[in-house]
Amino acid sequence: MEKTDVLVIGGGATGTGVLRDLALRGVDAILAEQQDLAYGTSSRFHGLLHSGARYAVNDPESARECRQENAILKRIARCCVDDTGGLFVLLPGDDPGYADDWFAACLRAGIAVQEIPAAEALSLEPNLNPALKRVFRVPDASIDGFALVWANVGSAAGHGARAYTYTRVDRIIVRDGTVSGALVTDLRTGEQRQIECRFIVNAAGAWAGQVARLAGCELKILASKGSLLVFNHRVTNRVVNRLRRPGDGDIIVPQDTVAILGTTSVPVDGPEHLGSSRAEVDQLLLLGRDLVPGLDERRVLRSFAGVRPLYQENGGEGQRPQDGRAVARQFALVDHERQGVRGLITVVGGKLTTFRLMAEQATNLVCVLLEHDAPCRTAVEVLLPEATAAQVRQLQRYFSPPVSQKMAERLGRADLDQLLGILSRNGWKRQFVCECEQVCLAELEWRATGSSWLRLGDLRCRTRLGMGTCQGTICAARAIGQLYQDGMLDLGRARRLLGEFLDERWKGNQEVLWGDQLRERLYARNVYLNLHNFQKEADDYGL
């Protein structure tokens, strides 16, 4: 039976952050994630590395935490952060008095806020509403949740930690009031096995209530869904926030080649099977066009939704929050000993921006309980060692200087070594499998061999393949073809993966079918169903 000191449940930002922290402190740990890493809210979010400004008025404590973590992540996680900077924009009709309160609150929270002339803002961001009244610069940035979670696990693995994906925790074993292990199921094989451990950290996000219940503990988590829209280009080059009391549809975050508008806030029953409704899409577009006139005419690639877990300290008698935003966004650290289970702690809530701090505090608690004395190093140790100048030069043998630069920033030193190794053996693997996001065959090969994956979507998350404008129309077939050619798939799996991938894409754009995106969907359907006569179900073609 496999043994470890600490089992971490949940492969989002929080769980992977805890795994890394434990590993850096020399504690033996295993992480179990039921699906792929970042399956939960850590990929279904807005991508904003908060400066804290959004919370300055309502939640100064959160604002200060964000400010500190924002600075730390910009230092240690350059591979996942695009330091775009952010703007807060006061629009006509919004309360001018709020702007003054907000400005003062930002200063109190220590956030580097600076007012700039409206004309300057419009020259920086020409798409903004020209009627804007006031504009402030803040240190907001854009952060890639997939890359962050993978970097956390990569770093942890470098220090001996293990992470299992598609491994669901089904039962927490408690003996004499103390956690002694967990029963997990490998979703790929259906096999159950036991992992023995002394402590469990429940970092299951919106599922945290369910996980606590596996040990017989009560944990009140309310779920609030937020929907987001992905535009096919960087509508703005900086994060843009509407300067008013936080509400729906008031933030645009550029992410690599696209931009994301969000969010809504709708109470829901649980974390699974969520999409965004047409009403939410309409509402977001209506609000978004206040910030960027004509935004509702621009091309939306897809919509998606994530779930905020809202921890209810005092039970709340199952009542639903009227507005998820009214419930504090700070995180909670719960030691279940007071419910009679020693060795189980839950860390839940907060924001992706504060994941490291949450992990630090959770790990502190674990270390106290383990009587293990080691300081936290996650704030100082770089997450992913950066590419060297020599590596960038080597890349330039295969790619243009700007492409090489971008790849080097995205991949980091260790992955680049692998990539360059593949390229030196097979120079032709410089070919791009995804032209929108500049993912080459060598990167696909490395991700497909160097990590365990189940779906084509998993490789998409590791590489960004298919995330750009064409949304996989060209590159899905290329990726499947190459993986097959390389002997990594059998025929049945190749067909299944492609079918699943298309299903997922078509579900994602179901509510945004107009204009160019409708055209793209009909085109993609014809490429797969017509040109290739690809059939998901009847794969014998009635022959």
Partner 1 sequence: MIMDYDVIVIGAGLSGLIAAARASAGGRSVLVLARGQGVLALTTGCIDILGCLPGSEGRCLTDVAGGLQRLAAIDPDHPYAKIGLDLVQESIEFWQQVMPAVGYPYCGSGAVNYLLPTALGTVRPTALAPATMAGGDIRNEAGTLVVGWLNLLDWHPKLIADGINDLRNRRGLGGAWSSVMLDALPGAAPELTPVMMARFLENAQHLELLIAGLRKSLTPGTGRLGLPAVLGIDEGAALFRQVETRLGCPVFEIPAGQPTVTGLRLAQLLIKFLKQYGVGFRFNVSVLSAERRNGAWQVMLDLPGRAAVVTGGALVLATGGLIGRGLEADRTQIRECVAGLPVAGRDLPGQAREASGWGRDPFAMAGVVVDGRMRPVATDGDPEQYRRLFVAGSTLAGYDPAVGKDGLGVALATGYVAGNAAATEG
Ligand X SMILES: Cc1cc2nc3c(=O)[nH]c(=O)nc-3n(C[C@H](O)[C@H](O)[C@H](O)COP(=O)(O)OP(=O)(O)OC[C@H]3O[C@@H](n4cnc5c(N)ncnc54)[C@H](O)[C@@H]3O)c2cc1C
**Of the candidates 453, 392, 366, 455, the residue with the CA atom closest to the CA atom of residue 4:** 366
End-to-end Cα, the chain, rounded Å = 49
Contacted entry of partner 1, ligand X, none for residue 32, CB cut-off 5 to 8 Å set by kind: ligand X
Binds partner 1 by CB under 8 A, chosen from 484, 488, 496, 500: 484
Site for partner 1 (CB under 8 A): how many residues? 49
- CA 478 to CA 497: how far, in whole Å? 13
Beta carbon nearer to ligand X, 474 or 494: 474
Contacted entry of partner 1, ligand X, none for residue 307, CB cut-off 5 to 8 Å set by kind: ligand X
Token representation of residue 64 = 């200060």
Contacted entry of partner 1, ligand X, none for residue 205, CB cut-off 5 to 8 Å set by kind: ligand X
User: Which residues lie closer than 8 Å to 9 by C-beta, 6 or more apart?
Assistant: 15, 31, 32, 169, 182, 200, 201, 202, 203, 204, 211
- CA 83 to CA 144: how far, in whole Å? 11
Binds partner 1 by CB under 8 A, chosen from 78, 220, 372, 430: 430
Binds ligand X by CB under 6 A, chosen from 25, 30, 39, 284: 39
Mask: binding to ligand X, 17-36, rule CB under 6 A, as x and -?
Answer: ---------------xxxx-
Beta carbon nearer to ligand X, 39 or 398: 39
- CA 132 to CA 159: how far, in whole Å? 50
Cβ(138)–Cβ(53) below 8 Å? yes
Site for ligand X (CB under 6 A): how many residues? 44
Contact between 541 and partner 1 by CB under 8 A: the answer reads yes
Q: How far is the CB of 518 from partner 1 (least distance, A)?
A: 5
Q: How far is the CB of 419 from partner 1 (least distance, A)?
A: 16
Binds partner 1 by CB under 8 A, chosen from 346, 477, 497, 501: 477
SS3 274: coil
Binds ligand X by CB under 6 A, chosen from 102, 136, 207, 231: 207
| Choices 5-13, 45-53, 210-218, 516-524 (CB under 8 A): range interacting with partner 1 | 516-524
Q: How far is the CB of 36 from ligand X (least distance, A)?
A: 8
Cβ(42)–Cβ(352) below 8 Å? yes
Binds ligand X by CB under 6 A, chosen from 4, 18, 22, 50: 50
**Alpha carbon separation from 489 to 187, 452, 492, 497, 500 (Å, rounded):** 18, 13, 8, 10, 15
Q: How far is the CB of 337 from ligand X (least distance, A)?
A: 21
| Choices 281-289, 348-356, 401-409, 425-433 (CB under 6 A): range interacting with ligand X | 348-356
User: Which residues lie closer than 8 Å to 461 by C-beta, 6 or more apart?
Assistant: 36, 37, 38, 43, 146
- Burial code of 353-388, b = ≥16 C-beta within 10 A, e = fewer? bbbbbbbbbbbebbbebbeeeeebebbeeebbebbe
Q: How far is the CB of 542 from ligand X (least distance, A)?
A: 19
Half-sphere exposure (Cβ direction) of 175: Cα atoms closer than 13 Å: 7
| Choices 42-50, 118-126, 287-295, 315-323 (CB under 6 A): range interacting with ligand X | 42-50
In 312-464, the DSSP E strands lie at: 331-335, 344-349, 432-434, 439-440
- CA 66 to CA 245: how far, in whole Å? 18
- CA 78 to CA 384: how far, in whole Å? 8
SS3 291: helix
User: How far is CA 481 from its chain centroid?
Assistant: 28
Binds partner 1 by CB under 8 A, chosen from 331, 432, 453, 501: 432
Contacted entry of ligand X, partner 1, none for residue 338, CB cut-off 5 to 8 Å set by kind: none
Q: How far is the CB of 421 from ligand X (least distance, A)?
A: 31
- CA 459 to CA 521: how far, in whole Å? 21
Contacted entry of partner 1, ligand X, none for residue 540, CB cut-off 5 to 8 Å set by kind: partner 1
Footprint of partner 1 on 408-427 (CB under 8 A): 427
**Of the candidates 252, 303, 310, the residue with the CA atom closest to the CA atom of residue 281:** 303
Q: Which helix (H) or strand (E) holds 289?
A: helix 278-291
Binds ligand X by CB under 6 A, chosen from 6, 7, 8, 13: 13
Q: Output the CA torsion sign for 253, 479, 146, 345.
A: positive
Q: How far is the CB of 45 from ligand X (least distance, A)?
A: 3
What secondary structure letter does DSSP report for 244? S
Binds ligand X by CB under 6 A, chosen from 42, 51, 346, 438: 42
Q: How far is the CB of 499 from partner 1 (least distance, A)?
A: 9
| Choices 210-218, 304-312, 371-379, 472-480 (CB under 8 A): range interacting with partner 1 | 472-480
Token representation of residue 295 = 């935004």
Mask: binding to ligand X, 351-390, rule CB under 6 A, as x and -?
Answer: xxx-------------------------------------
Contact between 529 and partner 1 by CB under 8 A: the answer reads yes
Cβ(438)–Cβ(432) below 8 Å? yes
Q: How far is the CB of 237 from ligand X (least distance, A)?
A: 17
What secondary structure letter does DSSP report for 338? G
Contact between 526 and partner 1 by CB under 8 A: the answer reads yes
Token representation of residue 515 = 């204009």
Footprint of partner 1 on 241-300 (CB under 8 A): 278, 282, 285, 296
Cβ(12)–Cβ(41) below 8 Å? yes
- Residues of this chain that bind partner 1 (CB under 8 A): 278, 282, 285, 296, 427-428, 430-432, 474, 477-478, 480-482, 484-485, 491, 494, 502-503, 506, 510, 513-515, 518-519, 521-523, 525-527, 529-543
Question: Residues in the site for ligand X, rule: CB under 6 A?
Answer: 9-15, 32-35, 39-42, 45-48, 50, 168-169, 203-207, 211, 226, 228, 262-263, 306-308, 350-353, 523, 526-527, 530-531
